[in-house]
A and B are shown apart, each in its own frame.
Chain A
Amino acid sequence: MRPVLLAGHERALTQIKYNREGDIIFSTAKDQHICAWFAHNGERLGTYHGHQGAIWTVDVDPTSTIIASGSADNTIRLWEVKTGKLLKTWDFPTAVKRVEFNEDGTKLLGVTEKRMGHLGTIVVLDIKVDPEAEQSDEKVMTIVCEESKATVAGWSYLSKYIIAGHEDGSVSQYDGKTGDLIYNVNVHELGSPITDLQWNQDRTYFITASKDKTAKLITAKELEVLKTYVADTPLNSAAITPKKEFVILGGGQAAMDVTTTSARQGKFEARFYHKIFEEEIGRVRGHFGPLNTVAADPTGKGYASGGEDGYVRVHLFDKGYFDFNYEVERERQNRLAAQGGN
């Protein structure tokens, strides 16, 4: 796998997102600007300037017209992808740690930080996916996290549920229309924060990453834990790959927490697990610090990782990746092919 190194951030990466076509990558970092890159060659398409603090999160609507970002400057901002123009700013009392569009881009959720005098919340905004349109100031819904603050959240299929991962390791399912809490389930070790939540393509299930060194595959409808991936390091991010039945995990101990030796340099790894069999199948090294974010190309051609080291590494999968199959998978494919041939 030949990586393309994207050097455009001066500080630790916080989130990476591909657009739906998989040709553009958006990245955010603690250095206050958002970058857009062409996925195939790593050329920079543009930057989005305006935030006054670390940027924690970014998302792009399904038509790649607008992006939303959330920052330590207590704002959510909306930008036009093509021109880099700032379209709208929403102010909050605390930092915004996560934003996500629903499946048609008409709603945006934001996770706000808990701070003295302010509980953590999940807010919902109505969005017009049109750079010319006037965006509404109004927050159409606010979910207050009384028990444990949300660290991450996202929209399920049909925008039916809002699913949140919490600081205490639990996962909540809220009604996507009313914001009512339906379930709260302890899925990760009590007190181990959930650091990431990413969907499969139809948003019927998702993967969580946690500081408890595991990632879990969970259904949106029942919050049933289907699979558990056990790593040997705290995890910051997890992604589900389309086309192949894999998941990618990223994490690592921060440099100050481990004995730093030259032998460790460049050895922070992305870990690949078989999604169905829960077994580790490979690692890709390269970063000089923990992996803060991993993202899978929605078209299945590759993945990207963003590190504490300030780099984005984009990998295009090679033949070996696509050919990799367990014997029982090959058996199944052959059986299906035979049935299809009849």
Chain B
Amino acid sequence: EDAERISSADVAVVQERRRVLEDWYNWREVMEEELAEERAHLGLPADPVEELLKAKAAEVAPNGEEQVIE
């Protein structure tokens, strides 16, 4: 009887965690979609920094050529 009570409590805990986990990922999905839409609407690249890093790399090594340091 004790074992049964414990296991039903465990089941409740696990079910609650399953629900909390699903809630979280559902919210993330909605938020990420919304953010992607907003970025697209503003004409911004999906990753705000990627372009900046490319520009910086181009400055360090123009035309994509690697600099040779002797």
Contacts and interface: CB of A to CB of B under 8 A. Distances in A.
Interface of A: 20, 62-63, 65, 103-105, 129, 157-158, 202, 204-205, 219, 221, 226, 245, 276-277, 326-329, 331-332
B21 A103 contact: no
Q: How large is the interface on B (under 10, 10 to 19, 20 to 34, 35 or more residues)?
A: 20 to 34
Given A276-B20, A276-B24, A202 B35 contact: yes
B35 A63 contact: no
Interface centre among A245, A277, A328 (most CB of B within 10 A): A328
6 contacts: A63-B53, A158-B44, A202-B32, A277-B17, A328-B17, A331-B18
Interface in B1-54: 14, 17-18, 20-21, 24-25, 27, 31-32, 35, 38-39, 42, 44, 48-49, 52-53
A329 B53 CA distance: 34
Contacts of B52: 62-63, 104-105, 129
A328 B14 contact: yes
Contact of B49 (A103, A219, A328, A332): A103
Given A104-B48, A129-B52, 9 more contacts: A62-B48, A104-B52, A157-B35, A204-B31, A276-B20, A277-B21, A327-B14, A327-B17, A329-B21
Interface of B: 14, 17-18, 20-21, 24-25, 27, 31-32, 35, 38-39, 42, 44, 48-49, 52-53, 56
A326 B21 CA distance: 10
A328 B18 contact: yes
Contacts of A105: 52
Given A277-B17, A328-B18, A103 B56 contact: no
Contacts of A104: 48-49, 52
Contact of A328 (B21, B35, B56): B21
B21 A20 contact: no
A65 to B, nearest CB: 7
Contacts of A65: 56
B42 A158 contact: yes
Contacts of B39: 158
B49 A158 contact: no
Contacts of B35: 157-158, 202, 204
Nearest to A276: B24
Nearest to A21: B53
A30 to B, nearest CB: 32
A129 B17 CA distance: 45
Contacts of B48: 62, 103-104
Contacts of A129: 52
A245 B24 CA distance: 11
Given A157-B35, A158-B38, A158-B42, A62 B49 contact: yes
Contacts of B20: 276-277
Contacts of A329: 21
B49 A63 contact: yes
A66 to B, nearest CB: 11
A326 B19 CA distance: 13
Contacts of A62: 48-49, 52-53
Contacts of A103: 48-49
B35 to A, nearest CB: 6
A324 to B, nearest CB: 15
Nearest to B25: A332
Smallest CB-CB A-B distances: 9 pairs: A62-B49, A328-B17, A103-B48, A276-B24, A328-B18, A63-B56, A204-B31, A104-B48, A63-B52
